[in-house]
Amino acid sequence: MTHRCDVLVIGTGIAGLSYAVHAARFGSVAIVTKKEQAESNTNYAQGGVAAVMSQLDSFSMHVEDTLATGVGLSHRDAVETMVREGPDRLRDLIAIGAQFTYAGSQLDLGREGGHSTNRIVHAHDFTGREIERALLHAVTTNPRITIFENHVGLELITEHHVHGKRPDGPIHCWGAYVLNTEERRVDTFLARVVMLATGGLGQVYLHTTNPPIATGDGVAMACRAGATIGNMEFIQFHPTTLFNSGSPSFLISEAVRGFGAVLRAANGEEFMHQYDPRKELAPRDIVAYAIDTELKKRGDDHVLLDLRHLPADQVREKFPHIYNTCLEKYKLDITREPVPVVPAAHYSCGGVVTDIDGRTSIGGLFAAGEVSMTGVHGANRLASNSLLEALVFSDRACRVTAGLLQEKGDPLPDVGPWDDSGTLNSEEWILIAHNRREIQQIMWDYVGIVRSNLRLERALRRMELIREEVEDFYKRTRVTEGLIELRNLAQCATLVIRCAMLRKESRGLHVTTDYRGRNDGEYQRDTILP
């Protein structure tokens, strides 16, 4: 089946939904999403949106906090654009019904690691869920937007599918082949503009805060289509997820430390003062590294996050989701017992390279949110900048989209249906489960918080073998969601490893035992994979 629209959006996180709401003013919009429409990394975001909403704050303060956390790699123009346009984009959310937490008549602004003042706009400790609710209401009540649930992006449609070969010059995107998992068929979606908003790739790792759908589909599809990819070595590990809470790991928000919680070793000793004068309010890369170091040094399997000295009624009021989940699901009263925590893969600072208007290196293809690399985050993301980045750059992409749709462009090309001739249905799904687990274990063991040349070389050799096995299986087998995800995980894992091998220094989220310090002379630049 072929679907035609003006704009195709792949993904239903904050970037995809906010883009779709605005793009619908200029044309018809189709949104494809892997699962239910509300399942995304956005929905799991607890902390909030960082924005200058107080007279005690300033654009320059937010810019400098972001640049400092990015450890010399954040692009100043992108950061300034995000910070200056952020408050207006937040007001757009409020205008469509997002209900944030207030203190009297003013927004209740929280504080998180790396921020020099209180600037985190939140809806208690389930901000992402509230933003998703408001955006979904705006999307589902708009007659120009159609959502296709249980549809998995398979391949972007480029000259390769139109003319049968890759062009020597620029590449253009006209849509995507998408697996309809309920009907078990591959549909063709043709569009004048395509927005990749597929989120992150946390499922590359054994322990992650990301939902099962976060398999790096957008990065993998864009890479296969020929897009420029960058900074994939910078994977942010959230310092504090609940120990032994399953997959995805239950996240204990950064805001809890901002409220005054203290990190302790398993024997009760505080340790953050040894790593940074900001202690628990240091940026995430420093806190995660400190915890990882303490675990290795002491032989423990977790550290403790202690809230017992904080007023219990205020903890329950500010963090109702965390408090109730820990109490009801894990039988842990965080006001009476220290919380066992460990780091887990949380956010990818790299991705599909874009300009400050969301344009990728492929014509007609935009990217926004975690799938993109705008240059904002550099070597480490400042807490709560992710939702802000998604709002600002999806809005900027929409402005360019409006101009493209108003132009009288060439008609959409004739594209043949997905060709699965010669493939078979296979019952060997144990291969998919095994390979997925193997990828996650390799990445966790060798490409985690601390790396080395030996670990990366070993990881690459094993990952190349897995990729060969997966590609062989893919070519012979009718596609399924599990097979698509496995192929994308193998692709993204390889990209992370290759970028890590190219950066021969320690900077931000990339720490290697072979190169202990920063080397600004050679490596104060992005890692770009053409």
Tell me 266's DSSP state: T
Where does a domain end: 295, 310, 344? 344
Shared domain for 251 and 162, answered yes or no, is no
Start-to-end C-alpha separation, the chain: 33
pLDDT value at residue 201: 96
Q: Please tell me whether residue 254 adopts helix, strand or coil conformation.
A: helix
Specify if 322 maps to a domain.
Answer: yes
Q: Is 184 a catalytic residue?
A: no
- pLDDT of 46 reads 55
Instruction: State whether 218 and 284 are in the same domain.
Output: no
Nearest-CA neighbor of 379 among 290, 284, 468? 284
Note down pLDDT in tens along the chain; length 530 residues. 999 999 999 999 899 999 999 999 999 999 999 976 555 555 555 568 999 999 999 999 999 999 999 999 999 999 999 999 999 999 999 999 999 999 889 999 988 888 999 999 999 877 888 998 999 999 999 999 999 999 999 999 998 877 666 777 889 999 999 999 999 999 999 999 999 999 999 999 998 999 899 999 999 999 999 999 999 999 999 999 999 888 789 999 888 998 999 999 999 999 999 999 999 988 888 999 999 999 989 989 999 999 999 999 999 999 999 999 999 999 999 999 999 999 999 999 999 999 999 999 999 999 999 999 999 999 999 989 999 999 999 999 999 999 999 887 777 888 888 888 777 777 667 888 899 999 999 999 999 999 999 999 999 999 999 999 999 999 888 899 999 999 999 999 999 999 999 999 999 999 999 999 999 999 999 999 97
State the CATH number of the domain containing residue 337.
3.90.700.10
Residue 162 burial (CB count, 10 A): 16
CA pair distance 443, 458, nearest whole angstrom: 10
- Among candidate residues 89, 119, 192, 284, the one labeled active-site is 284
Helices 385-406 & 76-95, crossing angle to 10 degrees?
90
Q: What angle do CA 166, 487, 242 make, to 5 degrees?
A: 135
Q: Which of 306, 326, 344 is the last residue of a domain?
A: 344
How many domains does the structure of the chain reveal?
Answer: 3
How many helical (H) and strand (E) elements, i.e. helices and strands, does the chain have?
A: 16, 22
* Dihedral class, residue 246 (left if φ above 0, else alpha if ψ from -120 to 50, else beta): left
- C-alpha 368/C-alpha 78 separation (Å) is 13
- DSSP state for residue 517 in the 8-state scheme: S
Mark which of 294, 326, 344 sits at the end of a domain: 344
Domain co-membership, 11 together with 121: yes
Q: Specify whether 365 is located in the same domain as 482.
A: no
| CATH code, domain carrying 111 | 3.50.50.60
Contact 523, 507 (CB under 8 A): yes
Domain range holding 288?
241-344
Is residue 155 assigned to a domain?
A: yes
Asked if 250 and 285 sit in the same domain, the reply is yes
Considering the domain architecture, whether residues 117 and 48 belong to the same structural domain is answered as yes
Q: Are residues 143 and 34 in the same domain?
A: yes
Q: Would you report the helix, strand and coil content of the chain in percent, each value rounded to 5?
A: 40, 20, 40
Tokens at residue 340, please?
A: 């066992």
Whether 462 and 157 have beta carbons less than 8 Å apart is answered as no
Judgement on whether residues 164 and 185 belong to the same structural domain of the protein: yes
**Residue 421: exposed, middle, or buried by beta-carbon count in 10 A (0-12, 13-18, 19+)?**
exposed
Q: Are residues 438 and 385 in the same domain?
A: no
Q: What is the C-alpha to C-alpha distance for residues 524 and 474, in angstroms, rounded to an integer?
A: 39
pLDDT score, position 219: 98
DSSP string, 4-47: EEEEEEE--SHHHHHHHHHHTTTS-EEEE-SSSTT-SHHHH--S
Look-up of token digits 């450890």: 71
Query: Helices 14-23 & 127-140, crossing angle to 10 degrees?
Result: 30
How many whole angstroms separate alpha carbon 272 and alpha carbon 251?
20
